[in-house]
Chains A and B, each alone.
Chain A
């Protein structure tokens, strides 16, 4: 057992209203510099849809993440290429997304509105590329070009999660598209087995030992661009101006002082939760090699019970301070992922072991209009048909399984049944219009208890700021102690790179003239 602390996240998709406040909070703080205009470390895409960069989920094209193969012994290898392949492709990365896969950033020639000579026609502010500084006549893509399906089904039909869907299914989907979609906010998952770190030949990317945040050392990066390809979520970006890779840093300066990242703090729907989990690093490889339909279970298993004395002892031995163990015990993420089991990793089949989990959107499956009558949960005998209707739910189970469980529909069904149980139970308590035996049946189907339902309900709809965000301040004072003896006599040569982390860099402080 090798227990480490990992800062981990949950997004509750039923609550996301697609307002993009999170993206703007992030952009204004981190990516409004030259060369980063096209980056959205936090983006919110409409699903079904093609996403950002376009069709990022299609790993036949982008070659991100890991695959497991090998005849005699199962081997985990980067889908991109082997280590020799990396060095061989270093002069030209055959799998690098192009700027146009994201979009070409632009601004407007606002000045023209004031300085244009007086004519019959109104002056316009033409678009100017923020890369070339030239006018752009046609803008073909932008951030969230397919927001709310962009008024067309082109984007939804091209969603990689529909690859291999039959004609009949596509017909259904198109019908579905006319009525339902949901939002998928995405940031870097700060994976346990990150493809970006593994792909970087320079060793510029690393996982921070204290809390598992994945960072790019700006001083080590030499622009070999392999991390961009190695990340299956396309959450490492290349700054074309500075020639350095950049990615979500989980607002670590905020984290270290005990504040949630800006996108979490500003989230209007309050869909975001952040907390620590304790995981067993010895299990990383085994977990990443699990059969595809077992990946969710394996990933739940790598997260260990923060109350277990053996886990606590191993964590302490690894230098996890008590403040972190305490935080792990209060972690909302642990509740959602392990205890309730309703938060799932995004595309676990990429095998990077993402540490951002999603509660799938139930959507308004419980009501429909029939013969002009709004059929809500108050009508008789509704629970039976409604529960079985999960299979005909407006967001197909298969689609959600492709997104959140490596194709295992059983997991999605279990999660939904539990969520339905919460709805039915809470309604029976608040509105008191559901017979007791139906509530009982819902609880049984959902494999849950009234106590758990109440807990889920409370953490979903009524959590306080302190319950959603449980991040203890980083004990930076201990880092200062370790600055001076660079070579630790016992642990031997622990690489210390203070001042070489994340965005920005330091030069030695100088004094006087």
Chain B
């Protein structure tokens, strides 16, 4: 019963909150969609925190995503010991970078006077949830080796069962506690998405690569015979 609540109901709720809340916030208060950068106020520590954190977490998240999206290929990759070592090593390195970066960011946020003045309670909650998440993930990767391998046989089928609206909790319900906490806390982070600065995540401006440099916008529609514009 509690398994159903934890591994079948809660994830749906978290995603519902994230999507519903995100869309609502985008429509009702688009102004608030911001990374809320504090670089203007403090620069040096930010470098040692933000750079390792972001690059670390992006790679780790992508690895999670690839395993989930193309489990066949992933399983193939990790069945070869050589590649498995490499994948684990990469994961370890970037996971460590993310963890260290996050610690620097937390330290920075709560010890720099100027940064404290732009810190909201939600920032604290979010940082705590992220710290728990990354630390758990890091611990799992150390304590239960070859996670890149067993991930495709446990969490991935569970996630796929969630996506296909046919939740199968047995894939994960008997995993060790730290692993299960990592999964659940992951959904806590997802649920925090619309209430925090995490919203900047889906705003990453890839299209800049295709856009012309200059941008012109008119309030009026120009007449049909209009010349070429940007």
Contact, CB under 8 Å: A207 / B216: yes
Q: Report yes or no: B208 in contact with A203, Cβ–Cβ below 8 A.
A: yes
Residue of A nearest to B35 (CB): A223
Q: Are B218 and A210 in contact (CB under 8 A)?
A: yes
A96 and B215 contacting across the interface, CB-CB below 8 Å: no
Chain B: CB-nearest residue to A191 = B214
Tell me the smallest distance from the CB of B208 to a CB of chain A, in Å: 4
> With a CB–CB cut-off of 8 A, which chain B residues contact A284?
214
Docked-complex contact A318 and B37, CB < 8 angstroms? no
Q: Which residue of B lies closest to A195 (CB)?
A: B213
Which partner residue on chain A sits nearest B118 by CB separation? A240
Instruction: Tell me if A482 and B203 are in contact (CB < 8 A).
Output: no
CB pair A209 B36 closer than 8 Å: no
B209 touches A318 (CB 8 A): no
Size of the chain B interface, CB-CB below 8 angstroms: 51
Known: A197-B215, A209-B218. A225 touches B40 (CB 8 A): yes
Q: How far is the CA of A83 from the CA of B37 in the complex (A)?
A: 20
Q: Is the interface of A mostly helix, strand, loop or mixed?
A: loop
1/0 per position for A458-476, CB-CB distance to B under 8 A? 0000000000000000011
- Chain B, 193-215, contact with A by CB distance < 8 Å: what is the 0/1 string? 00000001001111111010111
Q: Is B117 a contact of A132 with CB atoms below 8 Å?
A: yes
Measured between beta carbons, the chain B residues less than 8 angstroms from A3 are 227
Q: How far is the CA of A93 from the CA of B42 in the complex (A)?
A: 12
Q: Mark B46-67, 1 if CB is under 8 A from A, else 0.
A: 1100110111000000000000
Q: Which of A90, A224, A317 lies in contact with B223, CB distance below 8 A?
A: A317
Q: Closest approach, in angstroms, between the C-beta of B105 and any C-beta of chain A?
A: 11
CB-based contact A132/B116 at 8 Å? yes
- A490 and B224 contact, CB distance less than 8 A: yes
Residues of B within 8 A of A91 (CB): 50-51, 53-55
Q: Which residue of B lies closest to A500 (CB)?
A: B30
Docked Cα-Cα span, A201 to B229, in Å, equals 20
B33 to chain A, nearest CB (A): 6
Q: Which of A168-222 contact B (CB under 8 A)?
A: 193-194, 197-198, 201-203, 205-210, 218-219, 221-222
Inter-chain CA distance A318–B222, complex, in Å, is 6
Minimal beta-carbon separation of B5 from chain A (angstroms): 36
Chain B contacts for A133, CB-based, 8 A = 117
Known: A219-B31, A222-B200, A319-B222. A98 touches B40 (CB 8 A): yes
Q: Is B176's beta carbon under 8 Å from chain A?
A: no
Q: 24 A–B contact pairs at CB < 8 A? A: A2-B229, A78-B213, A87-B209, A90-B204, A91-B55, A92-B46, A93-B39, A131-B114, A131-B117, A134-B113, A201-B208, A202-B205, A207-B214, A209-B220, A219-B31, A242-B34, A281-B229, A317-B226, A481-B220, A481-B221, A488-B221, A490-B224, A494-B218, A498-B219
